[in-house]
Amino acid sequence: MVDTAEVVVPAQNRPSLVIWGAAGHAMVVADIVRLQNLYHLIGFIDDINMQRHGTKFCDASILGGKEQLAPLLQQGVKHVLLGFGDCQKRLEFTGVLLRLGFLLPTVIHPSAVVAGDSLLGLGTVIAAGGVVNPGVQVGCSVIINTAASVDHECIIGDAAHVCPGARLGGGVILGEAAQVGIGATVVDRVRIGAGVVIGAGAVVVSDIPDHVVAYGVPAKVIRTLDR
């Protein structure tokens, strides 16, 4: 009897995929892609460090900057994942990729737990140990990072980031491009606005308005963010 968990699909039989980003989070995304064994990772896009173009990164090549996207599409590379943490940029670049005609796969680490009735948007990444419980709706290009948990009936906006070890109680609404910092806790039924940054270790017990930084125990709004 064949153990299907050990079957490796040959690269030529998998769709080619590129990761946009070439730093720490891109390493995490690349690892998940390889473990899932559904796509053939052919390289990375790096718009920050031009001197790295053509060099090796995570056992693949840095292909160049975003100017490579159109040629890649013409060559039949249709799948791209965003591999960086900046929520506003992920929101912006998701639109860019969709307008160009790329497909954004959803990737889930084998150790993550995702309820069967949860809805995961295009380009979302669920990292090792992540938990997404029943009735959750997750937007596009969301990061549920290492050992983060999203409890029942939460609604997570596009390009939001639930950072490593963060915990969302049931029925939380997290706005688009909002970030819940490492180890933070959000109690049930709280709404966190669009573009919000919740600091590491915060405990959020009441609603947070759009485009602010909040932290502390309990979390308080510290300042407004430029838009």
Overall residue count recorded for the chain in this entry: 227
Tens digit of each residue's pLDDT, the chain (227 residues)? 334 344 455 566 889 999 999 999 999 999 999 999 999 999 999 999 999 999 999 999 999 999 999 999 999 999 999 999 999 999 999 999 999 999 999 999 999 999 999 999 999 999 999 999 999 999 999 999 999 999 999 999 999 999 999 999 999 999 999 999 999 999 999 999 999 999 999 999 999 999 999 999 999 999 999 86
- The distance from CA 172 to its chain's CA centroid, rounded to whole angstroms, is 18
- Percent helix / strand / coil, the chain, rounded to 5: 20, 30, 50
Q: What is the model's pTM?
A: 0.93
Q: What is the CATH number of domain 10-84?
A: 3.40.50.720
* Nearest by Cα to 149 from 163, 136, 168, 135: 168
Alpha carbon of 220 to those of 48, 201, 206, 217: distances in Å?
Answer: 34, 12, 9, 8
Q: What does the pLDDT read at residue 12?
A: 66
Helical H segments across 40-196, by residue range: 69-74, 87-100
Q: What does the pLDDT read at residue 11?
A: 63
CATH topology of domain 108-217: UDP N-Acetylglucosamine Acyltransferase; domain 1 (2.160.10)
Spell out the residues 6+ positions from residue 170 whose beta carbon is closer than 8 angstroms to its own.
Answer: 133, 151, 152, 153, 154, 188, 189
Q: What does the pLDDT read at residue 13?
A: 80
CA 216 to CA 107: how far, in whole Å?
32
Domain boundaries in the chain? 10-84, 108-217
* Nearest by Cα to 62 from 83, 49, 44, 48: 44
Half-sphere exposure of 16 (CA within 13 A, CB side): 13
Tokens 């900057």 belong to residue:
65
Tokens 């932290």 belong to residue:
215
DSSP SS3 for 225: coil
